[in-house]
Chain A
Amino acid sequence: MEYQNTLTTCIYCGCGCSMYVETIDGRITGVWPDKTNQISGGRLCIKGWNVTGFVGHPDRLKNPLLRKEGKLVEVTWDEALSQVAEKLSGIKRESGADSIGLMTSAKCTNEENYLMNKFARAVLGTNNIDHCARL
């Protein structure tokens, strides 16, 4: 018999509303708005209340997919990341870093978006980075 409320931040937009994800024996049973939080003050929008909807969704990808001979197949993270690194290095070598662009997401945390910006500028060497929240 295990009951947990895990403190977390909504991943749907940049407001940063705070919430608890409630689990009973490891299964998600609900969301509680965090009443002690200064930003959201115990209030959430409809997306916040339903933020856990995708966790157990059958459409959710559990492993990376790689297109092999025209078909998407499940691969390990190691294989997927090696493939991405190899391709990006190749493109940079042949056509320059500015032939690469990055789209990041409002569904990531602030910190993840910061890392993406570092990856673009410090690792790849391009300023071509944008974000879906601009749409």
Chain B
Amino acid sequence: MIAAIREAVAERLGSCDGVVALRRRNGGVAPHLFQKGDELAEMELSPRYPLMTVVSRLHKAFPAIRLGVVARGCDERAYVEMAKRNQIDPTRLEIIGFACTAEEAQACYCREPSPKHPVAGTPPAPGPPNPLVAKYDSLPLEERRSFWKKQFSKCIKCYGCRNICPECFCEACAMEDMAWVEPGLLAPPFPTFHLIRAMHMASRCVACRECEHTCPAYIPLTVLYDLMRRDIADLLGYIPGADIEAQQPLSLSLEQAPLKK
């Protein structure tokens, strides 16, 4: 598979100023901007990093460049929501997509494990839903509260979940606002600290699971965001990352986007 992607990257290097992908160097793998003459043999596909954040930073730093990016399904979904919020310029980006493997789709509970037009790989069946969501759903209200209370009491307030999230890009973050989050407390105030981000992920979270993977306290954060995605789908019929033409409902009035329930 990687040979086909390397070929597509080499081709794009003819028409773009660079291609964002992963590179292996010094025993580690990190995002890299491949440019003409770079050794494509160093290119890798795993482990995932939020590459659209890299594209966004480069688009902002260099307002005229055209980029390519090697993207998975979740990268493409992140791109869709970032483009809608002016974090990426779609006219200056070409996506070189590839499908994830069936194992990866299962491990990520991924419902959309491929970009729309992959140049490599065969899109596998979607992964199963996260079983923790069903388990959580079966709990009575009081126990749901204590479930999160227990989970969030482990939080070391590293802000990693926010830092790594491709959809968290605000210049001033409410999670650092003393009016909402009293400083100096560990664990951070319950439930504001985590619910701020959960609310802000409404119509934004594209289920890439980066937040959960980087959480040093092993908090099952995507249970919360999966529930948020479900509510937004049920109430407003919106699936973040699915359609670049669909207007995000939180920027519309209730007349333009009436509640479905």
A residues adjacent to B (C-beta < 8 A): 1, 3, 5, 7, 18, 20, 22, 24-25, 29-37, 42-46, 48-49
Which A residues lie within 8 Å of B26 (CB)? 7
CB distance from B193 to the nearest CB of A (A): 13
Partner of B158, one of A29, A34, A49: A49
- Let me know if B160 and A43 touch, CB within 8 A: yes
CB distance from B22 to the nearest CB of A (A): 10
Please give me the residue from chain B that is nearest to A47 by CB atom. Answer: B158
Q: Does B32 contact A (CB under 8 A)?
A: yes
Partner of A44, one of B29, B54, B57, B216: B216
Contact A5:B160 (CB < 8 A) given known A24-B58, A30-B57, A44-B216: no
CB distance from B236 to the nearest CB of A (A): 32
Of the listed residues A5, A31, A44, A46, the one surrounded by the most CB atoms of chain B closer than 10 A to its CB is A5
- Let me know if A29 and B29 touch, CB within 8 A: no
- Let me know if B18 and A1 touch, CB within 8 A: yes
Please give me the residue from chain A that is nearest to B164 by CB atom. Answer: A33
- Let me know if B54 and A42 touch, CB within 8 A: no
A119 to B29, CA, bound (A): 36
- Let me know if B160 and A49 touch, CB within 8 A: yes
Please give me the residue from chain B that is nearest to A34 by CB atom. Answer: B28
Please give me the residue from chain B that is nearest to A50 by CB atom. Answer: B159
- Let me know if A3 and B58 touch, CB within 8 A: yes
Partner of B25, one of A7, A18, A35, A43: A7
Partner of B47, one of A31, A35, A43: A35
